[in-house]
Amino acid sequence: GCPFAFQVPPCHNGGRRGLGRWPSDESPLNQPTPAIVTQRAVRRLPRLALLLFCAAYVLPGFIGREPWKNADVTAFGYMMELATGRSHWLAPQLTGLPADTDSLLPYWLGALAVKLAPAWIAPDFAVRIPFVMLLVVTLIATWQGVYHLGRSDGAQPVAFAFGGEANTMDYARAMADGGLLALMGCLGLAQLAHETTPALAQLCFTAVLFYAFAAAPSRSLCPALGLAVGLTGLVMSGAPAMATLFGVGGLAVTALGTRSDDSVARRRNLVWAVAIVGVGACAALLAWQLQMWRWRITGSALAPDQAWLQIRSMGNLLLWFTWPAWPLALWTLWRWRRQLSLSDPARHIVLPLWFALVAVGSAAFTQPSDRTLLLGLPALATLAAFALPTFKRSATALIDWFTLLFFTLSGLTIWVIWISLQTGFPRQPAINVARLAPGFEPSFSTVAFTVALVATLAWAWLVKWRVGRHRPAIWTSLVLPASGTALCWLLLMTLWLPVLDYARSYKAQVRLVAAILNDPPCVEIYGMNRGQISAFTFHGALKLQPASRRAQCPWLLVDVNARDTLPKSVNLHQWDLLATIPRPADKNDDILVYQRVRR
């Protein structure tokens, strides 16, 4: 809060006495907002600290790991097929199997990165370079989107009778810092934003499109460029329907937020409408020509018990995937509800609300739901940011203490399990890991240990700073949630990376199979999914081809789940079962190795 002597009490406050009253006119321009912010509360988050924090969040997960099952290694397989010329660029295929998503642009980016990378850069790292940039653009576009919404008239804090309220630029910058911290604090962003999949590309272009509509009233060139890039990128990344919904809703919000007497804004809206129609028509035509326009609605005819299970599953996903943004977003909608009911609704609430509703609604009827819900995180983070200027000190303290306890215990758990793997004490964590990942041999990395130790000490310093006495800033409530998420993610990608690679990649299983095959000229496969095919092609350097009735290769690999249907497609009299190779961390991923019978 601010000193009473500097505050004009809001008129929705039950007529509380004070030094000033708002005019009796109830027009939107005279309507107070729930944001009460002093100039002291919007001091800048140090840029160097913010950049280092973003780097600590972005880089872990892209460096030093293997391609993980299933979506990550599958997308990598298609990129390698394009890069090596074994597949057509307009119709990517993996051993005869087309891509399971109508996405081209992410595969193109990864394939071009492999082709352009020097020989000393491993292909599985080269494909991640453009996706690092996509995540960076996502963070920048989200910051810029919140910044421009924070500058809008409806978002401004209450003016004080004798001055001292936050000025527009500093207030918008503080809101943008809070929105960026809220986005990086979302638990669901960590893994999916560090995979080389179309989901990350869709997230990036959604954030760019969100920025375009947020900045449209105050800018011309950059938002227009963002509009073209966002719509086209979403279409080429396999989300043409989402591009349409975002575009139509964004245009409607921009038009509703224009005053009837503002001729310049009306002309700008007309230009935007023409631009959206033009860009949207070109993108739709492109999607139609490439046969990318398909609906993937599921769950339309479920039994009552199945429908309830799906609703409960969706609720659980929303609960953890969007944490901690969703409770803050709900608080924003409640505190700013008066602005939503006006004839001229506040665009800083309506625009992110539309993007969030589209993502949540689409996630409820599409699979996989988490990758669709991912597109709503920038909007939810924006809504969460506008909860900050309405918080009381008690609410801020509750967030800080909950976050402090949760992430400190999580980080401590990661360290204890790592110490158990390295030393054998305490015994039980190492026993649990051995049961879940049989055959794993722990290793020590000086670099990983040093990075993890520095990150942990930084967390301890941050906690000490947060609980100490310092000038208040509205973004401080999200420092601990975002930093805690970054800390745990960094610890997982350093201390736990060897065991995670062992458990989540196919490399260990492929090496066991490759040792049996001994560099054959070709290998037939049956029942294997795209991730397995990609892993055996990359890790094992095997030339795979679909199985046929007449044996053509000396070896046949079969997924254990396809064993029952194998006799329908393969003449088993030509094959002998030689071995069953398990994947250490998954009992349902066994590979059956058949050798052709020599007669």
User: For the residues of 289-308, what is the DSSP string, one character each?
Assistant: HTT--------TT--HHHHH
6 DSSP assignment = G
The 8-class DSSP code of residue 353 comes to H
* Residue 361, pLDDT score: 92
pLDDT-derived band at 340 (thresholds 50, 70, 90) equals confident
End-to-end CA distance of the chain: 88
Q: What pLDDT sits at residue 424?
A: 93
Q: Is 579 helix (H, G, I), strand (E, B) or coil?
A: strand
The pLDDT, as a whole number, for residue 338 is 86
pTM, rounded to two decimals? 0.91
Among 274-283, 297-306, 469-478, which stretch is predicted with the lowest mean pLDDT? 297-306
Quote the pLDDT of residue 24.
Answer: 37
Handedness of CA 207, 208, 209, 211 (dihedral sign): positive
The mean pLDDT value for 564-574 works out to: 92
pLDDT tens digits, one per residue of 235-287: 889 888 898 899 888 888 877 765 555 566 666 666 666 767 777 677 667 66
pLDDT digits (tens, 9 = 90+) for 54-108: 999 999 999 999 999 889 999 999 999 999 999 988 889 988 888 766 789 999 9
Q: How far apart are CA 302 and CA 300, in angstroms?
A: 6
Q: Which residues pair with 150 in a beta bridge?
A: none
Q: Residue 78 contacts by C-beta under 8 Å, 6 or more apart in sequence?
A: 87, 92, 93, 94, 99, 107, 534
Average pLDDT, the chain: 86
Confidence of residue 555 (pLDDT cuts 50, 70, 90): very high
Q: Are 537 and 544 in contact (CB under 8 A)?
A: yes
For 60, which DSSP code? B
Contacts 24+ apart (CB under 8 A), 268-276: 268/216, 268/217, 268/220, 272/216, 272/227, 275/224, 275/227, 275/228, 276/227, 276/231, 276/247, 276/250, 276/251
Cβ-based neighbours of 375, under 8 Å, separated by 6 or more: 202, 203, 206, 239, 242, 355, 359, 362
Q: Give per-residue pLDDT as tens, 362-417.
A: 998 888 899 999 999 999 999 999 999 998 877 888 888 889 999 999 999 999 99
pLDDT confidence band for 579 (50 / 70 / 90): very high
- Structure tokens belonging to residue 295: 């609906």
CB neighbourhood size of 301 (10 A): 7
H or E element in which residue 94 lies: strand 93-94
